[in-house]
A and B are shown apart, each in its own frame.
Chain A
């Protein structure tokens, strides 16, 4: 795995009693502590046990909890996601790990047609307390079948909650909150974030999963992003500051239901917005955010909402093409510059 350094938004504000950790370890700690405190919780997925997890998130958990609660499954995405639904109905609190979002398409039927519909279809009788975690995103030269960012698609579906932890606090804290939710929750972990290092409060635990977070305050432009693109967005905000432009960065954190209020409040203050989304532009989450700004803060805008998304191509393999296809800090900076300074050459 290539290492791409990402700015850790909270590093500067870390508490003195913080411990040095990684995003990967924070997720593992979240799983471990949930399993220790609740016997109903178990982890199931491809290679979560003996292999230790494709991204090593579950390494060591099989030894601690045994094969009944750390369940290796065959390559049957639809079946093991569906088993998770059934097990949740049967009183357990399954954490289903899908290796990556790319393979989640084989379980889309279960997620969309069963997990998201059962409560409604049964007139409120059967809620599904299921948590599904999966890796998402590009950036490791894995080419066209292993680089998708489809969390925006999932955010289209009523009946499920969509989370995108972008910080160590959220990597550690979103899982326990998701497990406490009576309904299905999908957690998208950008694969490039697993190596993210920083300080995490020793007592870190559950975090709210119903609102966005302001990762940097500013007054000239609002940069709305989430997950894997928070790092480049923070970098861009830093560069903009050097150029005298004050950018506010909103980390959506929760992709469904969207915290529209947080977005609109910020835009009403800055009067400009750029949405940064690793998904493709057409029919994307960035389109949804943009539409909501248009619906709710049109008259507060000094410029049309802009978007920085992935190029609309299946992801190419060569590094230079892949990097060019993905949202980049420099493109965010240029986009903002054009916005605040429309008449510059």
Chain B
């Protein structure tokens, strides 16, 4: 793909996630979506950029703020939306909801909602890949909050010790719920923590999707070449509240506004306009297509069936193959 065409594809992918989540917020107000809903708005460049560096054989392990990752990975939007509703046609049969999107076909291992709890899982997948001689990468996404958990440190140490093919993607949006990074960490240069485990680590502008893609390609290239785990700190910001329950009292409007000026979608749109790669008509075309896809996804979720209560006890233990 030419650089320009690639840029437009990245833009389209980010807009698709943004509009999907904006619709989700509306559907939440309409009480179609319930429970916890954590929007990724403002951070789309990370999922979109990193996915460019992954192959279909690679694995992804993400957090509860994973709608963007699921869509960028190529999971059908209808099934993602149905899962948000809790319908039987969802990615997890409705059992998971917004925080637990899973998809075996694309090696998408959640959707994990214990902060830091999925890092060992990612390293274990990588261990299995290494022991079975598969040259693939496991990309693990987590927030700045996870860095404070013991599981983060235990896993980075083990991954480095055993040279496991994991790409640690730290989405540093500066807050863990209402706790600002500097109120939680004695050392706020997060790459230094990974470096102390002898993991190559560096910070990247998480609002610049091209920079994200470049960094992820560099890291996955090294991992595939057998150079062990890599760690990238993506510096980003979430524009919306932590979840739909969050009154957002812990940061100033001014701070949010300042970061909104670095909106990854605006940044890339401006750049592509400057290069003559997109114009108003092209942008309108993207918006129209994306809106149609989201309408269809919402209609699909709306018309899908609920799982009957009679099958409540399914999937607690494996069913004998029939």
Contacts and interface: CB of A to CB of B under 8 A. Distances in A.
B110 A122 contact: yes
Given A86-B121, A86-B122, A74 B161 contact: yes
Interface stretch (B35-43, B95-103, B278-286): B95-103
Interface in A29-71: 42, 68
A103 interface: no
Given A76-B154, A120-B315, A125 B102 contact: yes
Interface string B130-141: 011000001000
A23 interface: no
In this complex, the member of A76, A123, A126 whose beta carbon has the largest number of chain B beta carbons within 10 angstroms is: A123
Interface residues of B, number: 46
Given A119-B318, A121-B95, A124-B314, A80 B132 contact: no
B317 to A, nearest CB: 5
A89 B318 contact: no
A282 B237 CA distance: 48
A275 B157 CA distance: 45
Contacts of B114: 109, 113-114
Contact of B120 (A68, A110, A121, A183): A110
A90 B59 CA distance: 10
Given A122-B96, A125-B92, A125-B103, A90 B124 contact: yes
Given A86-B121, A119-B315, A42 B131 contact: yes
A202 interface: no
B117 A82 contact: yes
B160 to A, nearest CB: 11
B118 interface: yes
Contacts of A118: 110
Nearest to B61: A86
B209 interface: no
B290 interface: no
B301 to A, nearest CB: 15
B125 A121 contact: no
Contacts of B154: 74, 76, 78-80
A18 interface: no
A122 B102 contact: yes
Contact of A113 (B93, B117, B119): B117
B316 interface: yes
B120 A122 contact: no
B125 A87 contact: yes
Interface string A303-338: 000000000000000000000000000000000000
Contact of B121 (A114, A121, A161): A114
Interface string B304-322: 0000000000111111000
Contacts of B125: 86-87, 89-90
B112 interface: yes
B132 A82 contact: no
Contacts of A182: 317-318
Nearest to A76: B154
Contacts of B123: 79, 82-83, 86
Nearest to B92: A123
Interface string B152-192: 00110110010000000000000000000000000000000
Contacts of A86: 120-128, 138
Interface string A292-305: 00000000000000
Contacts of B206: none
A246 to B, nearest CB: 37
Contact of A82 (B100, B102, B111, B124): B124
B49 interface: no
A84 interface: yes
In this complex, the member of A68, A92, A122 whose beta carbon has the largest number of chain B beta carbons within 10 angstroms is: A122
B269 interface: no
B171 to A, nearest CB: 20
In this complex, the member of B92, B103, B128 whose beta carbon has the largest number of chain A beta carbons within 10 angstroms is: B128
Given A79-B154, A79-B155, A123-B94, A88 B124 contact: yes
Given A121-B95, A125-B102, A183-B318, A109 B117 contact: yes
Contacts of A78: 120, 150-151, 154
B316 A85 contact: no
A161 B318 CA distance: 12
B225 interface: no
Interface string B283-309: 000000000000000000000000000
Given A92-B131, A121-B110, A159-B316, A80 B120 contact: yes
Given A119-B315, A122-B96, A124-B319, A89 B151 contact: no
Contacts of A83: 120-121, 123-124, 127, 155, 158
A82 B92 CA distance: 21
In this complex, the member of B125, B315, B318, B319 whose beta carbon has the largest number of chain A beta carbons within 10 angstroms is: B315
A79 B158 contact: yes
Nearest to A122: B102
B91 interface: yes
A159 B127 contact: no
B121 A74 contact: no
A158 interface: yes
Contact of A120 (B103, B110, B138, B316): B316
Nearest to A117: B100
A183 B318 CA distance: 7
A192 B59 CA distance: 43
Given A76-B155, A79-B154, A90-B124, 15 more contacts: A76-B157, A79-B120, A80-B120, A82-B124, A84-B124, A85-B120, A86-B121, A90-B128, A90-B129, A119-B318, A123-B95, A126-B109, A127-B318, A159-B316, A182-B317
Top 3 A-B pairs ranked by shortest CB distance? A86-B124, A82-B120, A90-B128
Interface of A: 42, 68, 73-74, 76, 78-92, 94, 109-110, 113-114, 118-127, 158-159, 161, 182-183
9 contacts: A81-B120, A83-B155, A86-B122, A86-B138, A91-B128, A92-B131, A92-B132, A122-B110, A182-B317
